[in-house]
Structure formats: C-alpha cells, structure tokens
C-alpha cells in the first residue's frame, strides 16, 4: 500500500514562535485589590497585572519576520520617503483608491474625514458606528445613525451576514433627511460593535448603488476588511473560488474611500490611513493632515510603521492565516456555546461577544451587567475583556442615560499572539464564572468624563 498524506482536521497555528514575552500570574486576592485600585475599570489596570489580555485586537498583534525586516530597512525621511511609497503602493493595490493619506491610527482618519465633510445637523448612516467613529461624528455636531439589519441586533439569531445595512431604512433616511444633509454613508467591515459580524458583498453593492443614486459618497470603515473578505469567501457562494485579495479589491471597488486602522488587519502595532478617489476632497483632507498629523507622506507614522503596514496588509489576506484566525475565534465560541453560555452567534471574526443580559438577568441594564461580567472574568482568572454595553454607549449627547441595545462582553483575540492552550484556559475561566453568575452584582458610576467615558470612568460595585 502506498503512503497517503494526512488530511488533518486540526488547524494549527500557521507560524512558529521565535520570540516570547512572559505573562504574569497573580492570585485572586491580589486581583481584588488591583481592580479596586483601578476604580473597577479594567482600562485602568496595568497590563502586567493581566494574565491574558483580550481588551482589544487593536495594535496588540505579533509582527512577522518579514515585517521586522521591513522595519529595519525603513526610510525615515521627512518628505517623500521610500517607506511611504511602499505603503502607498500596497494600499492602492489592495483598495484601488487614488489618494492615500497616512494617519497615526484609525480615529485620526475619522477626525480628518468628518471634520472636512460633516457639518451641524448632518446625518451619517453606518451599519453600526464604532465608538470612536460615533464620537467624531458627534464632535462635529452631526448625528451618527446605526442602520444594521434587525438580525444584527439579536445576539441569538443566526444569519451569515449580521453586519449588513438595512437598505430600506437607508433609503428612508435619505428620503427623510435629504441627500444634501448626508455627507457620507459608512459601512463598517466587519461590524465591530455589532459582534464582529461580516457584511456581504451583495450588501456592499446595494449600499453603493443607493449612495450613487443619491450622489452621496460611500466610505468603508475597513479595519477588519481581510476578515470580512474571508467570511465572504466562505459564506457567499459566488466567492468560494476567489482569493481574499480578489474579494477585498472587489469590495473596495464599490466605494469612494475608506478609513482604516492598521492596528487591526494592517497587522501593525500603530498606524492607519484615509484613502479616497475625490481629488478636491483629498486636497482638503491633506491640509488638515498637515495641521493635526504631520506631512502627508508620513502623517503621524514613522517610516518603519509604514513598512510594517505595507507588509502586514498582505499577510492579513493570506488564506492560511485567515483560516486559522477565524477558526481559532470560533473554537472559543464553540466551547462557550457547548457550556450553555449565550454569545453573539455565529461567532465573529476577531472576538467572542458574551451576552451578559442573558447571563445576568438579575442585573438591570443601567447597573451595567456587561461591566460586572468583565470585572468578574478578571477576578476569577486574570482575563481582561471589554464591556460593549451601557457604560460604553449609554451616555447620550444631551447628558442623559439610555440603556444600550445589547449588553456584551467582548473577548478580542490579538492576532498571532495566543495559542490553543491559552484559549482552552480562557474557556475554563468563562465557564467557571458562568457557574457562579448569580453572585455577580451591578455597578454604579462614580465619576465619568463627557466623551468616551468607558476609557476612564471610575465605578463602584453595588
């Protein structure tokens, strides 16, 4: 008999590790004190006091040897550096957009875009605005409108593209507000605040069509464009044989521009960009870039950051990487589902979102159940997640409080950082916390800033 090749079901980490970083174990008694010192706000913990840090997948990934070699070979010239041109070429190749404006991260691109195009009383529709996007829209006194499909607001409903925009609602909004008051339509891929859920190519096309019909620019919030491409490949039949790169190119081809945080699918620790086709808008945006970021050929990034992004954007589109990436997130999701824990389903790309409303029905929304669960996960096992609920979204522009639609705890998976045994441990911690969920108590806010309060608010257990 001839030897046959193994057809393994195991999806192994598609890399080997050549540089390691120790993580620190603490006791529960220590963590109780540390959390209290941090005003019961995990954002205020020291990272060294966290065992497994799932606060964000933003800027927390491990870079590859190819990225590090780019970094060593960077050109740090103030103007016209080679590193900029490599960065620009990569972004233009993948997105097809003519103008590429580097920024130090995603929210800087948002600031430049919205400051340039939005005015008081304008409306900016999105499937779901991420918190910084919403904050920048509101900072310009415009209204940030979330028009995700209904399924996208129901954690338990299974739908392959829960990040899709509700096209009818989009049309209705344009009728009601008038296209002259809508300076841009945004689409966040994948939809982070809605559970890391993808947007279908079909939906991208529909949004693009509506935008064109009404003469409104259409921009993609592209932070996790590569993960979104993988979901399109695996869930939208016509795309099964296309590469993630081909899919990404097609997706961008329907838009007029994008904002990007390279800290996600740019596989970099810092960086971002604004890319767009319109010459006169690009000119205005570049002027503001000089004012707030830096000269337009570095815009807030070092040459070596731009090198890391130029390489990272392609690595994020690698099929072997994406298969492992999406599978390893689903692996955690599957374990929690098996244990009877409600999570946003299907499992998203970069994170697992636990439904804290379901797990803690005894804690009212304005006593912040998802915040309570986040803190419990730290106390029980040294894990840091993030609340996406009423602390993050409850404060209204007029200063009042309104319960958020969903109360979620996001466990975001840094790229290429943790191994399967870390994930096994994580699942154990969540399940052990779930088994004691009746003991969890609500929180109240002691002091909070007026914008993005979750970053620095101090709370106290009730």
In the chain, the N- to C-terminal Cα span, in Å, equals 69
| Binding string, residues 208-227; x marks residues near ligand F0G by CB under 6 A | -------------x-x----
Using CA of residue 452, residue 456, residue 460, residue 461, what is the dihedral sign? positive
Instruction: Give the C-alpha separation, 284 to 296, whole Å.
Output: 12
Contact between 111 and ligand F0G by CB under 6 A: the answer reads no
CB of 409 to ligand F0G, least distance (A): 13
Q: Contacting ligand F0G (CB under 6 A), which of 31, 107, 136, 422? A: 107
The pattern of x and - marking residues 137 through 176 that bind ligand F0G according to CB under 6 A reads ----------------------------------------
CA–CA separation, 14 vs 184, rounded Å? 39
Sign for the pseudo-dihedral over CA of 450, 456, 457, 458:
negative
Residue 261 beta carbon to ligand F0G: minimum distance, rounded to whole angstroms: 3
C-beta closer to ligand F0G: residue 304 or 434:
304
Question: CB-wise, 33 or 456, nearer to ligand F0G?
Answer: 456
Q: Which is nearer to ligand F0G, 57 or 442 (CB)?
A: 57
Contact flags string 8-47 toward ligand F0G, x per CB under 6 A = ----------------------------------------
Q: Using the rule CB under 6 A, is 192 a contact of ligand F0G?
A: yes
Which x/- pattern over 253-282 shows residues binding ligand F0G (rule: CB under 6 A)?
--------x-x--------x----------
User: Residues 6 or more apart from 410 whose CB is under 8 A from it?
Assistant: 54, 196, 351, 352, 353, 354, 385, 386, 387, 388
In degrees, rounded to 5, the angle at the alpha carbon of residue 305 between the alpha carbons of residues 190 and 314 is 50
CB-wise, 56 or 405, nearer to ligand F0G?
56
CB of 239 to ligand F0G, least distance (A): 22
Length of the chain measured in residues:
462
Cβ nearer to ligand F0G, comparing 221 with 227: 221
Q: What angle do CA 287, 292, 298 make, to 5 degrees?
A: 80
Report, in Å, the least distance between residue 339 CB and ligand F0G.
25
Spatial separation of the C-alpha atoms in residues 311 and 292, rounded to whole Å: 26
Which of 422, 288, 411, 292 shows the shortest CA–CA distance to 353?
411
Residue 188 engages ligand F0G in binding (rule: CB under 6 A): yes
Is 269 in contact with 63 (CB distance < 8 Å)?
yes
When asked if residue 289 is in the footprint of ligand F0G (CB under 6 A), the reply is no
CB-based contacts of 390, cutoff 8 Å, min separation 6: 365, 366, 368, 370, 371, 401, 403, 404, 407
Our CB check for ligand F0G shows the closer of 99 and 107 to be 107
**Between 196 and 442, CB nearer to ligand F0G:** 196
Is 195 in contact with 356 (CB distance < 8 Å)?
A: no
DSSP state of 60: -
Tell which residue, 434, 454, 424, has the closest CA to residue 360. 434
- With CB under 6 A as the contact rule, which of the stretches 22-30, 102-110, 245-253, 366-374 interacts with ligand F0G? 102-110
Helix (H) or strand (E) holding 103: strand 99-103
Task: Indicate the residue whose CB is closest to ligand F0G.
Answer: 106
The C-alpha atoms of residue 308 and residue 440 are separated, in whole angstroms, by 43
We find the least distance from the C-beta atom of residue 168 to ligand F0G, in angstroms, to be 24
Q: Are 121 and 142 in contact (CB under 8 A)?
A: yes
Residue among 410 and 422 whose Cβ is closer to ligand F0G: 410
What minimum distance in Å lies between the beta carbon of 155 and ligand F0G?
18
- Give the count of residues interacting with ligand F0G (CB under 6 A): 15
* 45-74 residues near ligand F0G, rule: CB under 6 A: 56, 58
Task: Choose the stretch contacting ligand F0G; rule: CB under 6 A; options: 33-41, 92-100, 129-137, 144-152.
Answer: 129-137
The footprint of ligand F0G (CB under 6 A) covers 56, 58, 105-107, 130, 132-133, 188, 192, 221, 223, 261, 263, 272
């Amino acid at each position: 008999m001839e030897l046959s090749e193994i057809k393994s079901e195991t999806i192994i980490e598609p890399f080997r590790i050549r540089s390691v970083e120790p993580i620190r174990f603490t006791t529960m008694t220590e963590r109780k004190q540390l959390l209290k010192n941090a005003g019961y706000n995990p954002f205020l913990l020291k990272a060294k006091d966290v065992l497994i840090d799932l606060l964000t997948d933003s800027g927390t990934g491990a870079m590859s040897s190819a990225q590090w070699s780019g970094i060593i070979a960077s050109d740090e010239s103030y103007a016209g550096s080679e590193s900029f041109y490599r960065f620009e070429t990569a972004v233009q190749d993948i997105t097809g957009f003519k103008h590429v404006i580097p920024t130090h991260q995603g929210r800087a691109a948002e600031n430049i875009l919205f400051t340039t195009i939005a005015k008081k009383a304008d409306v900016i529709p999105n499937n779901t605005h991420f918190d910084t996007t919403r904050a920048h829209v509101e900072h310009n006194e415009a209204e940030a409108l979330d028009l995700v499909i209904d399924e996208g607001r129901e954690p338990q409903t299974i739908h392959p593209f829960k990040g899709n925009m509700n096209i009818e609602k989009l049309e209705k909004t344009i009728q009601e507000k008038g296209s002259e008051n809508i300076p841009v339509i945004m689409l966040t891929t994948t939809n982070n605040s809605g559970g890391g859920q993808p947007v279908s190519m079909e939906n991208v096309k529909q949004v693009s069509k509506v935008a064109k019909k009404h003469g409104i620019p259409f921009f993609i919030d592209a932070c996790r464009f590569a993960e979104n491409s993988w979901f399109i490949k695996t869930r939208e039949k016509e795309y099964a044989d296309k590469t993630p790169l081909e899919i990404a190119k097609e997706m961008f081809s329907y838009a007029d521009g994008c904002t990007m945080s390279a800290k996600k699918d740019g596989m970099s620790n810092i960086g971002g960009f604004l890319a767009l086709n319109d010459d006169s808008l690009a000119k205005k945006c570049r002027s503001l870039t000089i004012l707030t970021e830096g000269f337009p050929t570095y815009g807030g990034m070092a040459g070596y950051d731009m090198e890391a992004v130029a390489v990272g954007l392609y690595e994020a589109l690698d099929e072997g990487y994406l298969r492992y990436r999406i599978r390893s997130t689903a692996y955690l999701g599957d374990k929690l589902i098996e244990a009877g824990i409600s999570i946003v389903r299907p499992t998203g790309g970069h994170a697992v979102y636990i439904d804290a409303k379901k797990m803690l029905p005894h804690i009212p929304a304005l006593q912040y159940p998802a915040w309570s669960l986040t803190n419990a996960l730290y106390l029980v096992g040294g894990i840091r997640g993030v609340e996406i609920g009423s602390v993050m979204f409850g404060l209204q522009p007029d200063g009042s409080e309104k319960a958020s639609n969903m109360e979620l705890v996001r466990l975001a998976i840094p790229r290429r950082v943790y191994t399967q045994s870390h994930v096994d441990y994580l699942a154990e911690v969540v399940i052990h916390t779930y088994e004691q969920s009746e003991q969890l108590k609500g929180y109240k806010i002691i002091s909070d800033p007026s914008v993005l309060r979750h970053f620095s608010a101090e709370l106290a257990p009730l």
